[in-house]
Structure 1
Amino acid sequence: MVTTEQQAGARRLLETLEGPIRFALLKWALESEVFNLCQSPITVETLAQKMDLPPKSLALALRALVASGWMEHEEKQYRTAPAILPFVTAGGPHAMTETFRSMAQTRHAGLENLDALIAGTAQPAGPRLFDDAHWDASHRSLAAFHRAIAADVVEPALTALPEWPDARSFLEIGPGSAVLARRLLSLRPDLAVTLFELPPVAERIAQEASDLPISIVPGNYNDSLPENRFDIIWCSMTLYFHDSGLNALIARLVERLAPGGVLVSFHEALTGNRTGPSEHVIGRLLPALRHGDVSFCDGEIAGAMADAGLTRPTSQTLSTPFGHFRLDAARKEA
């Protein structure tokens, strides 16, 4: 007889079969803009006319969207679930359609060759580190991601720092967009903000932030860093691409801290011999097979900060809509 534990194991296996269907269904819903059309309750018949689709097959898709938690059904009418509406409404300030598409391309690329990637027989995937062209092409989706949800997560984490009220200068390493800078300047117009980014992305940010009183410095942190000293240096999901080791990169960042300044890191923290959290281990599997595993272990960045001479460390784990992340901060003595 199969045990209760084994039944649960069988359930986990069988539930996996839904994964590709859920992804394809969501992709169809975003591309067809059915979420937009269902902002207000609507019947299948009316929606079918608007979309020029057969009502019977459309009804099946809508039921599946309800089962997935993305739509609601009441009194023969369907509507987009309010919890996801801001993120799936095309053209809205929090729209994530472009972000979803870009992230899917990154995370799913090579899926059809998974066995060859694991066996090491797949065609060479190019350099281990993503290049300038990759990030240049990702700028719009990154900016959308920052506007949609990321800035809402990291802004309070930054402004809760004890150094925040008195900080005079702020450096963001690899910002990807000016979204966070705009938010911070709305709170502290007196803050001197510097964004350090790869040259092609820096040009795009300069256009995006032409109305902001900020300094945008192009470069690669493996070659150079801005010459000034900063009260806060912020590194969010950007320290992966060091070419001389994490400790060497952290040490160079510490040189750019003003006395009494704080270095802040917002990155994943793998646990359990790099087997969790699942969203990072599974979500990054294909990029890791193609380009190398660059994810950080729990405490790895904090250890590098201590090795570089920073003191008074603080850390906390944040549960975000895009996974669990560790916020590490450490200070340079005055």
Structure 2
Amino acid sequence: MVNLQRETGAGRLLATLEGPIRYALLTWALDRDIFNRCSNPVREEELSRSLNLPDRQLGLVLRALVAAGFLEQGRDGFCTASDILPFVTSGSSRNMVETLRSMSQTRLTGLDQFDALVAGSSPGGQRRLFDDAHWDASHRALSAFHQALAAEIMVTCLTGLPEWEAAADLLEVGPGSSVVSRLLLAKRPDLSITLFDLPPVAQRIEAETDGLCVRVVPGSYTQSLPEGTFDIIWCSMSLYFHDQGLPELIGRLSQRLRPGGVLVSFHEALTDQRTSPPEHVLGRLLPALRQGDVSFADGEIAGAMAAAGLVRASHSIHDTPFGRFRLDAARKDDTHA
């Protein structure tokens, strides 16, 4: 039962204090391998012996993990909550522990310097936003994120396009991994796929696509785009790093479409004067304070597509475990082709 008093006024203020405790519980459980230890029910005394921790202290933490929704408690002991089990246990194809650790570092770095960041006096704020080294170091975490849940959602977006069945080729801009490509080729082995990413990331993708029929092109879209034209160009959470403005980048991408081809974007869409959805506004606050706000406003990408001359636009909103996203698609005019 939802306690409405906890969601308004004083209740909301007091509930906020639980945030750091939930995070501490999660990181402790990951560090102590609690989720693997509890993949099957384990009694408290057995955990106490194996972890060499005092019963009373451990019991408090285990019950807090239940309260936080990370563990379940039954007659046979404590067990990892069924809905998070595939994401936190070793050997699972959907394990996203490395993703959680990487995202926490990105989202929480600078929390201890919050006032200095707001004042603009914190060091490191002038670094280039998410440079090659950042993405190179984040490759494994991003691959795990795609494998765990993101790629499945992206593939649903792509296969739902009217152009999907007839498309001969697809360009993915800033894929970060080969996971989406593998899923797409399982559905359409005849599809020609080009993956375009920063050189160090492209090298990693090429190594993991051994035996997969894809073309990997290294480069940066601030400088160039792969040669050729495509029926579908897919951009998922990758258009942030333009250096001459979004309309210019969208214009160059549209030139790589064949007549009738579709440019597809899957990005956040901030609403209510950039105060919503909260998962994007709050989750991206520290990176924005450190290195600039790159989040897109609702309709911003659609506007750039229209300015580039793309037509027959459509959009839909998708609620995902990683936030609310807007899918925009617009086509290159084929009436004069």
Whether TM exceeds 0.5 here: the answer is yes
Question: Aligned partners of 1:26 and 1:106: how far apart in 2?
Answer: 17
Question: Aligned partners of 1:162 and 1:7: how far apart in 2?
Answer: 42
Mapping of residues 168-247 of structure 1, within 5 Å: 168-247=168-247
Question: Aligned partners of 1:313 and 1:117: how far apart in 2?
Answer: 39
Question: Aligned partners of 1:116 and 1:280: how far apart in 2?
Answer: 22
Tell me the number of residue pairs that the alignment of Structure 1 and Structure 2 aligns: 331
Question: Aligned partners of 1:8 and 1:325: how far apart in 2?
Answer: 26
Query: 2:84 corresponds to which letter in structure 1?
Result: I
Deviation at 1:280, TM superposition (A): 0.3
CA deviation string 1:188-245 (max 9, x = no partner): 0000000000000000000011110100000000100001100000000000000000
What is the TM-score with the length of structure 2 in the denominator? 0.96
Give the corresponding residue for 2:277: 277
CA deviation string 1:268-326 (max 9, x = no partner): 00001000100000000000001100000000000000110011111011000000000
Give the corresponding residue for 2:304: 304
Query: 2:135 corresponds to which letter in structure 1?
Result: W
Question: Aligned partners of 1:228 and 1:59: how far apart in 2?
Answer: 62
Question: Aligned partners of 1:262 and 1:300: how far apart in 2?
Answer: 17
More displaced stretch, 123-132 vs 252-261? 123-132
Deviation at 1:127, TM superposition (A): 3.0
Structure 1 runs (4+) greater than 3 angstroms displaced: 4-7
Give the corresponding residue for 2:93: 93
* 1:233–1:264 Cα contact (<8 Å) kept: yes
Question: Aligned partners of 1:134 and 1:322: how far apart in 2?
Answer: 20
3-state SS of 1:325 partner = strand
Question: Aligned partners of 2:89 and 2:301: how far apart in 1?
Answer: 37
* 2:170–2:194 Cα contact (<8 Å) kept: yes
3-state SS of 1:282 partner = helix
3-state SS of 2:11 partner = helix
Q: Does residue 165 of the first structure (1) align with residue 190 of the second (2)?
A: no
Give the corresponding residue for 1:52: 52
Give structure 2 stretches of 5+ with no counterpart. Answer: none
Quick one: structure 1 residues 37 and 248, their matched pair in 2 at CA, closer, same or farther if it must change by over 3 Å? Answer: same
CA deviation string 1:19-62 (max 9, x = no partner): 11100110111121111111111110112222222222111111
Deviation at 1:114, TM superposition (A): 0.5
* 1:196–1:217 Cα contact (<8 Å) kept: yes
More displaced stretch, 308-317 vs 128-137? 128-137
* 1:168–1:190 Cα contact (<8 Å) kept: yes
Query: 2:66 corresponds to which letter in structure 1?
Result: V
Give the corresponding residue for 1:42: 42
Query: 1:256 corresponds to which letter in structure 2?
Result: R
Mapping of residues 17-166 of structure 1, within 5 Å: 17-75=17-75, 77-166=77-166
Question: Aligned partners of 1:254 and 1:149: how far apart in 2?
Answer: 29
3-state SS of 2:8 partner = helix
Query: 2:282 corresponds to which letter in structure 1?
Result: I
CA deviation string 1:74-132 (max 9, x = no partner): 12511111100000102321111100000000000110000011011212423342210
Query: 1:26 corresponds to which letter in structure 2?
Result: L
Give the corresponding residue for 2:250: 250
* 2:6–2:12 Cα contact (<8 Å) kept: no
Quick one: structure 1 residues 54 and 5, their matched pair in 2 at CA, closer, same or farther if it must change by over 3 Å? Answer: closer
Give structure 1 stretches of 5+ with no counterpart. Answer: none
Percent identical residues: 60
